[in-house]
Amino acid sequence: MNWLNPGWLWLYAGAVLMLMEIIVPGFVMFFFGLAAATVGFTRFALGEALSPTWQLAAFSALSVIYITMLRRIVKSVFAGGRSDSPEGFGDEYVGRAGKVTGAINPPLAGRVELGDAQWAAVADEPIAAGVDVLVVSRSNLTMKVKEIKS
């Protein structure tokens, strides 16, 4: 078995390119690796019938085809859940209770503590420091809160 056979070299290149996807963001290198692996397997199947020129042409064509046709499908599988919020974050803070650390006097923002972090906060009515509040919505990094009345 010749380890420097062009088929093996294409498979090595494919494996390296696929592993580079871990380092390079964007989910593109994987498809170059897939194209290289496909050329490697094709080289084993067809043998000498696939000249180096045709191997490079096949790699180029397959790279374009894989990126344009498969990237969106495969990326949606690996990307996980997506948020529909315009900021790109989920609304994990909505419904959480916090404490006002800097008085909120509309239309000026104050400060609120949620867990171990401080956030800018706005409200429809003035809220004094030290009052417990509930987050009702979020706009970028500013929380909209309302006072928790007991």
Residue spans of the domains in the chain: they are: 6-79, 97-147
pTM of the entire structure? 0.51
Which H or E run contains 43? helix 29-46
Region 59-65 average pLDDT: 94
Average pLDDT over residues 16-24: 87
Higher pLDDT, 78 or 141: 141
pLDDT category of residue 27 using cuts at 50, 70 and 90: confident
32-36, 80-84, 123-127, range with the lowest pLDDT: 80-84
Predicted pLDDT of residue 21: 84
Q: Is the pLDDT of residue 86 over 70?
A: no
Give yes or no for residue 18 having a pLDDT over 70: yes
Among 50, 55, 41, 57, which residue's Cα sits nearest to residue 7? Answer: 41
Tell me the CA distances in angstroms from 110 to 7, 14, 105, 128, 130, one per residue in order. 65, 54, 7, 9, 12
Question: For the CA atoms of the chain, what is the radius of gyration?
Answer: 27
97-147 classified as CATH 3.40.50.620: no
Q: What is the pLDDT of residue 3?
A: 66
Question: 122 near 81, Cβ under 8 Å?
Answer: no
